[in-house]
Amino acid sequence: MNLLLIRLIIFAVLFFAGLKLYRIYREWKLDRDDLLSPDEGTASQGQMVRCRYCQVHLPETDALRERGDWFCSSAHRDKYLEEQKSD
C-alpha cells in the first residue's frame, strides 16, 4: 500500500512537471513566431492602395475594387458612386 502511494505521488509530480515544461515551450514558440511574423506579414499583404473617397491607404487585400478605383469600405464605395451619378 505504501509503495503504491509513493508511485502515485511520483507520477503526479512528473505529470505536472511535464505539463509545466510543455506550457513553457508553447509560450517560447509563440513568442518566436511573433518575432518572425511581422516581416512575413507585410510581405504577404501586397502593395498599399488609396481609398478613392477618403484617401486612406490600406493593403490591397483589405480593399474593395469597383470600376478601377479602390475603396476602404462598401459605405465609401457607395457614397463615391452616388456622387459620380449626381455629377
What does the domain layout of the chain look like in residue ranges? Answer: 1-44, 46-87
For position 77, what pLDDT does the model report? 93
- Report, at the CATH architecture level, how domain 46-87 is classified: 2-Layer Sandwich (3.30)
* Residue 53 CB contacts under 8 Å (≥ 6 apart), including other chains: 71, 72, 76, 77, 79, 80
Q: Which H/E stretch holds residue 64? A: strand 64-66
For position 1, what pLDDT does the model report? 75
Q: Residue 25 in 3-state DSSP?
A: helix
Beta bridge partners of 71: 64
* Tens-digit pLDDT string for the chain (87 aa): 789 999 999 999 999 999 999 999 999 898 888 777 655 555 555 799 999 999 999 999 999 999 889 999 999 999 999 998 887
